[in-house]
Amino acid sequence: MFFQLSRNDLTRRKPPLVLIHGAGGTHQHWPAVLRRLPDWTVYALDLPGHGRSEGEGCNTVAAYREVIFEFCEAQGLERVVLAGHSMGGAVVQDFALHYGGRLAGMVLVGTGGKLRVAPAILDGLLSDFDATARQITEWCHGPLATEQQKRIYLKQLLQESPTVVHGDYAACDAFDLRADLPSIHTPALTICGSADIMTPPKFSEYLAQHLPDARLHLVPNAGHMVTLEAPEDLVETIAEFLRNVP
User: pLDDT tens-digit profile of 13-65?
Assistant: 789 999 999 999 999 999 999 999 988 999 999 999 999 999 999 999 999 99
For the chain, list the domains and their CATH numbers: 2-243 (3.40.50.1820)
User: Can you spell out the DSSP letters for 54-81?
Assistant: -S---SSHHHHHHHHHHHHHHHT-SSEE
Count of CA atoms in the C-beta half-sphere (13 A) of 16: 23
Does residue 10 have a pLDDT over 60?
A: no
Mean per-residue pLDDT over the chain, rounded: 94
Question: Which contacts of 153-160 are long-range, i.e. CB under 8 A and separated by 24 or more positions?
Answer: 153/225, 153/228, 156/25, 156/26, 156/28, 157/24, 157/133, 158/129, 158/130, 158/133, 160/24, 160/49, 160/50
User: pLDDT tens-digit profile of 192-228?
Assistant: 999 999 999 999 999 999 999 999 999 999 999 999 9
